[in-house]
Structure 1
């Protein structure tokens, strides 16, 4: 008898779930016997970046979970949470059970910044800080917030998130889902000045217009832009004309640059044309940041002027980009931190396609773009997977029966969570928030998540 096309997706964040959705909307899925999909996720809970990478005061973005829920509710999909690829299951194992494997593991580490002083106490990767305030179970429960003056390097949305969390009060963030340890840590936050540094100008900033404007909504944050940092060359003007979002960001920054400085207690400075050259240290600790002033070169890029300035800060957060972790048994491009591919098909060093193996999302193209941009990746990858299926190019698994996977994981002693388990964890977090009038309080400890999920 014919059987469903069996596909494993490694990574149950937006990219992986969008791939599952694309498979379910395909002609193959509509036919009998259709498609059967298993999602493998290292965390006990699904949703990846949205749960552990989006700031807790962004309920609009977290609302994407509603749409992802509708996909995971489909009977053709199973979730295997708390299963670590490379440890609990390998590529060879997955090929035993599935016709094809899609990797969508995203990017969670900090991209390196090659300047002196990054190793100093008080120099932090933004990804680590995000993992702390988002309650990632694999990160420490405490975070030092003793610095009164802080630098944030980078002009993307992660930099905005980090700066905003540092500038807000603990009570402002209490209505969100932050766990108790994060609230207690933020109550000790001494930051009064936050300086965000960009190497290029306002037209090159990678902020989303809405997220930028949200900085000014807090009653405790005074956003300050130096009028001298509002500068454009021919390349910048061309960027603004061809990119509506870039133009909106520039207009917002212009408006802030010409207004009077108000009296809100926390000052958040947005600096442009300042390239970090060194994190200054004394006795192993951060005592300042040195930047080189840059100038536009006519194309929208910048060049150094040889003019340096030292900034009085005692903590530095490096928000210069995320980096994916290398995956066992897959080829790897060290420079880009991605798996080499053509149309989502994994490409080996020989130039051939690694049989039945695909990638989508940030592990494929790097950590650029918004969450919704991974839909296009997913559609292309799935289209090529289905083309390979139609052409008979997929490997035939030795044990395609759905219960064979459960037997394998049980034999390995793996405690896994399910989609039904997520509903239990979801209910437990909402129950914790109810007495305080909050939507939820996030459960942090992995063991507590497993117990609440009924692993």
Structure 2
């Protein structure tokens, strides 16, 4: 078992799980985890709504991994700018890309580019305090449409409908609180193309919509279609059954007169965003009917819902990395079991991928463990034919970054920033208050 050094690009759950599995399966391995942000944890820190503290509990497990002696963290390092693939090959036996998926998938319908039309991923990054996004967000619309039938759509709807003061128990930054406090939205419409048995909400997230006393959840019984495929899914899968039961309860519930409403429209396919003077004024949907197999077909009946803003939550996509093969159709790195493939379908030696950039943005955070296990298993199997790096000393990469003038952060720097955010929260009786500007993150990392 020869000593090996591996670079992981991406410090979210996928990258951290890969580092953890490698150091457990191969005792002579040491891993350096790189991220373009000064802080670790990726999607968990910048992709999970702040009012989901139970999901954020995973940070405790990720922290234990990054605290291991065999693993180092290098933050504020942008792959392709601060360090290139050819650089990493000088210092490491292998490179694992775990850069995730942070951009919105496109939705090709007329009017989607009107003023007032947004990507859900961008909005999530704003309310999660991502340092690379604007500090302000236009929240002047009183009626809003959310296109999508997954948990991100629910997060967007809930954050738009929930009063800002109810978020003061969370870690939201002050600029996000001030933005939400000025939010004008009272009506939020969520549109799903298919029926209740095909919708991709998780039961917990769907139930959480009604936890705010300021929100009524409205479901039209006319939208409740269950075909043969849906009935089979209800009988077979507990989570589907729970989702359908929750939607039924919402449909049967009497309105409480709450000041904010989330309307869930099923069997409505968005076909156009309508505008006047270049701005969103409505969304047009076509009613659909289920065909017995779980698929939806149009009925030719159209409904216009007046809205002043539209958020598309139709999925995330990964982006191409410099010097790394990329599939522009599926938005993933072409691979076989995590082995990166070139244009001829041949493995690029010493190059691997894991997580959403490997398989697409599907599955929950826990699914990345098995994903990482497959990639690391193949990495270890390839070691006999993997050449050793030219500069294997751990300090070589630090020297390289310093010589290039990269203002990188370390694990100790993150511990200081983490403590600072916790101290900010303690003053208000909260677990933490997130620091947003990159320059402030760096400053408190070195305090």
What TM-score comes out, normalization by structure 2 length?
0.99
Report what 1:9 is aligned to: 8
* Structure 1 range deviating more: 256-265 or 332-341: 256-265
Residue 449 in structure 1 maps to residue 441 in structure 2: yes
- Displacement, 1:3? 5.6
Report what 2:233 is aligned to: 239
Residue 216 in structure 1 maps to residue 207 in structure 2: no
Residue 405 in structure 1 maps to residue 397 in structure 2: yes
* Structure 1 range deviating more: 2-11 or 358-367: 2-11
Distance in 1, matches of 2:250 and 2:182, equals 29
- Displacement, 1:242? 2.8
Moved over 4 A (4+): none
Report what 2:184 is aligned to: 190
Q: Deviations over 1:327-380 (max 9, x none)?
A: 111111111100111111111111110111111000001111111111110000
Report what 2:373 is aligned to: 379
- Displacement, 1:177? 0.7
- Displacement, 1:423? 0.6
- Displacement, 1:202? 0.7
**Contact kept in structure 2, 1:209 and 1:249, CA below 8 Å:** yes
Distance in 1, matches of 2:31 and 2:429, equals 37
Q: Deviations over 1:256-292 (max 9, x none)?
A: 1122222211111111000010001110100000001
**SS in structure 1 at match of 2:382:** helix
**SS in structure 1 at match of 2:255:** coil
Distance in 1, matches of 2:321 and 2:191, equals 33
**SS in structure 2 at match of 1:330:** coil
**Contact kept in structure 2, 1:157 and 1:206, CA below 8 Å:** yes
Alignment length (residue pairs): 447
Report what 1:431 is aligned to: 423
Residue 76 in structure 1 maps to residue 74 in structure 2: no
Report what 2:334 is aligned to: 340
Pairing 1:37-436 to 2, within 5 Å after superposition: 37-389=31-383, 392-436=384-428
Distance in 1, matches of 2:108 and 2:201, equals 23
Correspondence for 1:36 among 25, 30, 51: 30
- Displacement, 1:75? 0.2
Distance in 1, matches of 2:387 and 2:123, equals 42
Distance in 2, matches of 1:394 and 1:279, equals 53
- Displacement, 1:184? 0.7
Q: CA RMSD in A?
A: 1.0
Gaps of at least 5 residues in structure 1 are none
**Contact kept in structure 1, 2:225 and 2:289, CA below 8 Å:** no
What TM-score comes out, normalization by structure 1 length?
0.97
* Structure 1 range deviating more: 436-445 or 258-267: 258-267
**SS in structure 2 at match of 1:241:** helix
Distance in 2, matches of 1:416 and 1:240, equals 50
Report what 1:440 is aligned to: 432
**SS in structure 1 at match of 2:385:** coil
Distance in 2, matches of 1:111 and 1:393, equals 38
Gaps of at least 5 residues in structure 2 are none
Distance in 1, matches of 2:104 and 2:177, equals 24
